[in-house]
Amino acid sequence: VSVKCYICNSNINEKCGDPADKMNMDARECSASVLQEVADKAQSTLGKVMNIDIPEGQQSQFVCQKIKVSDKEDKTKLIMRGCTILSTVAGDPCSVGIEKLTAGEGKVEYCGTCNEDYCNGSSRQTFTMFLLMVPCFTAIVSHWISI
């Protein structure tokens, strides 16, 4: 059984932005055909050739991916969520072919992968960082009050 990921593009579905509205986003089980569908949609949206090589003749392991792209002026943002091939199979999915995503017309602000069902729907790192900051903040405040 393959991982299930959110599949969306914020240019097509504004619910795909940050924060994501998971109730209104498509979620699918990853497969070679879903990966090709995501690549085709990205190509039609961005007008650039993605050149994703899907290994044939072997069982590919898929992961979820989230990419955040902006234009040169940091005005227009695009968020894409989808499936990709695990880095050990086809190279790092956040470096192989990502430079083609903007073709010099913008920058990739964030690219990350994860391997749990529906994990590309939010920024788990933000929540984890918040949980780590609470005890630190509490310690600082309690030290400040005791002075």
* Per-residue pLDDT tens digits of the chain, which is 147 residues long: 689 999 998 988 999 998 889 988 889 999 888 877 777 766 665 544 344 555 554 567 889 999 998 877 767 788 989 988 887 656 777 776 666 666 667 788 889 999 999 999 976 544 333 333 444 343 433 444 555
Domain assignment present for residue 30? The answer is yes
Domain assignment present for residue 139? The answer is no
40-48 contacts: CB < 8 A, separation 24 or more? 41/9, 41/12, 42/9, 42/80, 42/82, 42/101, 45/9, 45/11, 45/12, 45/78, 46/78, 46/101, 46/102, 48/100, 48/101, 48/102, 48/103
Domain assignment present for residue 142? The answer is no
Domain assignment present for residue 128? The answer is no
Displacement of CA 146 from its chain's centroid (Å) = 44
Give the residue among 108, 114, 105, 66 at the shortest CA–CA distance from 86.
114
Domain count for the chain: 1
Domain assignment present for residue 147? The answer is no
Tokens of 65: 């991916």
The kind and range of the H/E element at 108 are strand 106-114
Q: What's the confidence (pLDDT) of residue 49?
A: 38
One-letter amino acid for residue 123 of the chain: S
Domain around 90: 4-121
Q: What's the confidence (pLDDT) of residue 45?
A: 56
Interacting residues of 83 by C-beta distance below 8 A, sequence separation 6+: 3, 5, 7, 28, 30, 31, 34, 35, 38, 62, 63, 64, 65
Domain CATH code at residue 111: 2.10.60.10
Domain assignment present for residue 138? The answer is no
